[in-house]
Amino acid sequence: MPRKALISGITGQDGSYLAELLLDKGYQVSGITRRSSSPNIERLTHIIDRIQLISGDLLDQNSLVAAIQQSEPDEVYNLAAQSFVATSWRQAELTGQFTALGVTRMLDAIRAVNPKIRFYQASSSEMFGAATPPQNESTPFHPRSPYAVAKVFGHFITQNYRESFGLYACSGILFNHESPRRGLEFVTRKVTNAAARIQLGLQKDLAMGNLSAKRDWGFAGDYVEAIWMMLQADTPKDFVVATGVSHSVEYLLEVAFSHLNLDYRDFVRVDPSLIRPAEVDYLCGDSSEAQRAFGWKPRTNFEQLIAMMVEADLERNRRNPAAVHFVSGV
């Protein structure tokens, strides 16, 4: 009998890579999608015939119970969230409903239908916030945005249900991970898409926020392997997943633009409205515990990742410039 997995957030970046990985491993894959007026399966079109999509929403407990009953999973991966930090100040309450309480709803749905299901929670390095790097599993959290506060709740409720009810529930504390499928508002994709559009004459300049922030950026395709490995261990445990190498936003600009023989200084201007109310200055993860426990290591370095993203954005913009037009103000 094939193993069965249910993914919330399957239409997102990580959901699409994880679905591919699980299909390759012979899983029967189901995913929860929320209702929208037009289909939102752009990242899944290449595997759409091989997965089952079930309508549901993290804001609706009954729909989560029904999705678990229908898909009968051995493993649930809770990737769904309002995942963009900047939006979390403008929609703080909604972010709490999705990103914090949504985790409780999913855990309660598992308890109600089948407490033997293994549960993965998508925790985030944003929880470390202002903590001094390198950050690992023992670093205390100091969240700096409503998003990060909500993720801390999700992290601790997962731990609490593990301790209270004996669920197999664990969290991966993943540092930023990117890909050609990353949402356009995140800084890597915003930059690679703009560099491609400037090269093609479709865009003139690029407004940016804080250029000195540093992130530990990895490739999403590598990170979903760690997510799956975590759920295969005999006992549930939380792990940091990171590359251990950090770069500034300014270096990101340099790498992306120079890949196209452009100098970013000719095109980039800092827009004060894009500076956040509170910033996370410096994230750099120590994932040696994950390496020791299940042998996970990243395969893609930063320069390879950005080159891959710039090339994909060049191709996409050549094909259909309107589809990847940058939305200003984020």
- Could you confirm whether 254 is annotated as catalytic? no
Of 5, 109, 174, 242, the one binding ligand NDP (CB under 6 A) is 174
Q: Where are the alpha helices (DSSP H) in the chain?
A: 13-24, 61-71, 85-90, 92-95, 102-113, 146-165, 187-199, 220-230, 249-258, 288-294, 302-319
Which tokens sit at 253? 């600009």
What is the enclosing helix (H) or strand (E) of 207? strand 206-208
Whether the link from the prior residue into 143 is cis, omega within 30° of 0, is: no
Phi-psi region of 295 (alpha: psi -120 to 50; beta: other; left: phi over 0): left
Tokens encoding 154: 């999700």
Interface region with ligand GDP, contact rule CB under 6 A, candidates 42-50, 110-118, 184-192, 220-228: 184-192
Site membership for ligand NDP, residue 58 (CB under 6 A): yes
Neighbours of 199 (CB within 10 A): 18
- The stretch near ligand GDP (CB under 6 A) out of 13-21, 101-109, 208-216, 313-321 is 208-216
- Residue 210's binding partner among ligand GDP, ligand NDP, none (Cβ under 5 to 8 angstroms by kind) is ligand GDP
Token pair, residue 294, equals 């299940």
Q: Give yes or no for residue 136 binding ligand GDP (CB under 6 A).
A: no
Residue 111 or 276: the one with the smaller Cβ distance to ligand GDP is: 276
Kindly state whether residue 198 participates in binding ligand GDP, applying the rule CB under 6 A.
no
User: Contacts with ligand NDP in 20-39 (CB under 6 A)?
Assistant: 32, 34
Residue 81 binds ligand NDP, judged by CB under 6 A: yes
Cβ atoms 228, 21 nearer than 8 A: yes
What would the x/- binding string for ligand NDP be over residues 124 to 163, using CB under 6 A?
x---------------------------------------
Distance, CA of 128 to CA of 142 (rounded, Å): 5
Q: Give the whole-angstrom CA distance, residue 253 versus residue 265.
A: 9
Phi, psi angle pair for 123, to nearest 5°: -80, 170
Contact between 208 and ligand GDP per CB under 6 A: yes
Residue 85's binding partner out of ligand NDP, ligand GDP, none, with CB under 5 to 8 Å set by partner kind? ligand GDP
Smallest CA-to-CA distance from 175 within 248, 120, 124 is with: 124
Give the binding range for ligand GDP (CB under 6 A) out of 34-42, 180-188, 232-240, 295-303.
180-188
Please identify, using beta-carbon distances, which residue of 57 and 238 lies nearer to ligand NDP: 57
Q: How near is the Cβ of 255 to ligand NDP at its closest, in Å?
A: 18
* 276 contact choice in ligand NDP, ligand GDP, none (CB below 5 to 8 Å, kind-dependent): ligand GDP
Q: Is residue 106 at the binding interface for ligand NDP, with CB under 6 A as the rule?
A: no
Q: Which residue, 156 or 267, is less far from ligand NDP as judged by CB? A: 156
Give me the helix-helix angle, 220-230 and 13-24, nearest 10°: 60
Would you say 30 or 124 has its CB closer to ligand GDP? 124
Q: Please give the Cα distance from 63 to 106 (Å, whole number).
A: 10
Residues that bind ligand GDP (CB under 6 A): 85-86, 126, 176, 185-187, 190, 208-210, 213, 215, 249, 274, 276, 279-280
Task: Catalogue the active-site residues.
Answer: 124, 126, 147
